[in-house]
Structure 1
Amino acid sequence: MVKMSWAEICQDPTLRDLPYKIQTDKWGNIVMSPATNEHGIYQAKIVALLSKLMNEGTIISECSVQTSEGIKVADVAWASEKFMQNNRGKSPFDEAPEICVEILSPSNTKMEMEEKKELYFARGAKEFWMCDKKGSISFYKNTGPLEHSNIIEGFPGTLSV
């Protein structure tokens, strides 16, 4: 079995155009998850809303984070200017941006999302958002659920397709 670094995975032309999200597990194995068009629509809507509501920071789609269980890729993330000053040019990031967002796909389980939430918090995320298949968003901090985001004022709890 050939092990590849994250940089090698990102540069491999045979993996570049796959219609799957690529991550690694704690043993360095590549894990792929297919994404639906609805997944892409929700991802684009979240990026657009973040762009509208935030005048500072950086919005990142497909944000790779090195965790204790391998490299996880948040569908969307928001990072402060300070975070970007400390982490610009790194891939994957050694720490998680302040907000990590996951959009449930048919191939995802709630247990998988709970694990990713804890992994992002362990790497410094301040909030974790999860968008379900109907566009409802759940907000969390490391101590439990939130009614709304404490970082992005006015972010809606439901998205329409």
Structure 2
Amino acid sequence: MEWREVIEHPSLRDLPFKIETNEWGKIMMTPATDIHGIYQSLIDRSLARLAKEGQTSTECPIQTSKGVKVADVAWRSRAFLKKYGVRNLFLVESPEVVVEVQSPSNSAAEMEEKKQLYFGAGAKEFWLCDEYGNMRFFNPQGELKRSELFGEFPEHIDIESV
């Protein structure tokens, strides 16, 4: 199934799942939880505050070598926005920063694969938030102590302090 068909299909709207496609165009659905959405929102807001330019977004569809994957949060530089604009069904190249919030239904192997797919699509950094709010930062060479693009981003997202 092509991504346009997925987003236009009436029975796939308003589902409590994150929808992506695999390399054969088959629909993959991951159940969403309330805490997942809270972390996603807090990460987006924190990243937007730190970004001097560019744009953050949630639910960012990115074409990868294994189908369209939907990043929980992404940041695009001004140069990226100038090149690709903002009215895309999906992005043919990954934004510079891609963030995934790990749900209990996500395995470590699945997150590793997504990380590699986003880097293969051009991401500069991949961030992973675990189910307790602990952040891990990666570039294509490996794990980082902190983000190289947003060094002030917290290593822990505290949902209790909201």
2:100 counterpart (99, 102, 116): 102
Per the alignment, residue 49 of structure 1 pairs with: 46
Quick check: 1:71 aligned with 2:92?
Answer: no
Per the alignment, residue 113 of structure 1 pairs with: 111
Q: Which runs of 5+ in 2 are unaligned?
A: none
How far off is 1:51 after superposition?
A: 1.6
Per the alignment, residue 87 of structure 1 pairs with: 84
Q: TM-score, normalising length from structure 2?
A: 0.95
Q: Which digits, 9 at most, give the CA deviation of each residue in 1:59-114, with x for residues without a partner?
A: 11011111111111100000001111111222211110000000001110110000
How far off is 1:119 after superposition?
A: 0.5
Residue identity over aligned pairs, in percent, reads 49
Root-mean-square deviation over aligned CA pairs: 0.9
Kindly report structure 1 stretches of 4+ aligned residues shifted beyond 6 Å: none
Task: Report how many residues are paired.
Answer: 158
Quick check: 1:24 aligned with 2:21?
Answer: yes
Matches within 5 A, 1:4-43: 4-43=1-40
Q: TM-score, normalising length from structure 1?
A: 0.95
